């Protein structure tokens, strides 16, 4: 397992990251004012955080419900074998299913944990039948319907 070297951050870096996580659309001058830096110094800090891989990208959070995805499922999957080739084939095929938002290789009773969105249970049945059950090496699928999100992902605990 490859481990990444942890980056050393000072209080200003932590403030910048917390502000970016909260609102990455704010201007650099707005952010600089909040963290008590000049605009150019703030820009250099952000660029440095990007260069060392602490900031890996910027995304918009979309409303699944407003886009018609009213159902969310967590899916536990087992493969017939745990060889490197089996994992590679499964993962390559899985990346082609757009409704799979996240996928984790896990230890325990199952091999993978997936988070999937669907329009409704009928749409999930289609995803299950036409995509998940056809993935290479899959021997067992357990689906769990999420009733509601209690604590959404609002970012990493910075500072």
85's tokens: 């080739």
Per-residue buried b or exposed e for 43-62, using 16+ beta carbons within 10 Å of the residue's own CB? eebbeebeeeebbeeeeeee
Q: Does domain 11-51 have CATH number 2.40.110.10?
A: no
Question: What is the third-level CATH fold of 71-146?
Answer: Alpha-Beta Plaits (3.30.70)
**In the chain, domain spans:** 11-51, 71-146
Q: What is the mean pLDDT of residues 109-128?
A: 98
CA separation for the pair 139, 93 (Å, rounded): 15
CA separation for the pair 37, 93 (Å, rounded): 46
- Quote the percentage of the chain above a pLDDT of 70: 98
* Predicted local distance difference test score (pLDDT) of residue 62: 93
CA separation for the pair 74, 128 (Å, rounded): 12
Average pLDDT in the chain: 95
Q: How does pLDDT run across 65-81, given as a tens digit for each residue? A: 999 999 999 999 999 99
Tell me the pTM. 0.86
pLDDT at residue 2 greater than cutoff 80:
no
pLDDT band at 5 (very low <50, low <70, confident <90, very high): confident
Q: What is the mean pLDDT of residues 90-119?
A: 97
Residue 34 backbone phi and psi in degrees, to 5: -65, -35
Residue 77 backbone phi and psi in degrees, to 5: -125, 140
pLDDT at residue 1 greater than cutoff 70:
no
* Predicted local distance difference test score (pLDDT) of residue 154: 86
CA separation for the pair 78, 40 (Å, rounded): 51
Q: How does pLDDT run across 18-64, given as a tens digit for each residue? A: 999 999 999 999 999 999 999 999 999 999 999 999 999 999 999 99
- Residues 34, 40, 41, CA angle at the centre, nearest 5°? 65
* Predicted local distance difference test score (pLDDT) of residue 158: 87
Location of structure tokens 């001058």: 29
């Amino acid at each position: 397992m490859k481990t990444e070297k942890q980056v050393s951050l000072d209080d200003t870096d932590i403030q910048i990251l917390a502000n970016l996580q909260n609102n990455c659309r704010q201007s650099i001058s707005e952010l600089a004012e909040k963290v008590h830096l000049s605009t150019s110094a703030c820009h250099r800090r952000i660029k440095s955080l990007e260069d060392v891989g602490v900031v890996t990208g910027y995304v918009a959070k979309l409303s699944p419900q407003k886009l018609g995805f009213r159902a969310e499922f967590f899916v536990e999957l087992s493969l017939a074998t745990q060889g490197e080739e089996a994992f590679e084939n499964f993962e390559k095929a899985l990346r082609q299913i757009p409704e799979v938002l996240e996928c984790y290789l896990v230890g325990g009773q199952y091999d993978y944990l997936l988070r999937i969105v669907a329009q409704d249970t009928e749409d999930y049945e289609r995803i299950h039948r036409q995509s998940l059950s056809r993935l290479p090496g899959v021997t067992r699928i357990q689906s769990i319907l999420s009733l509601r999100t209690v604590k959404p992902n609002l970012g990493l605990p910075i500072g």
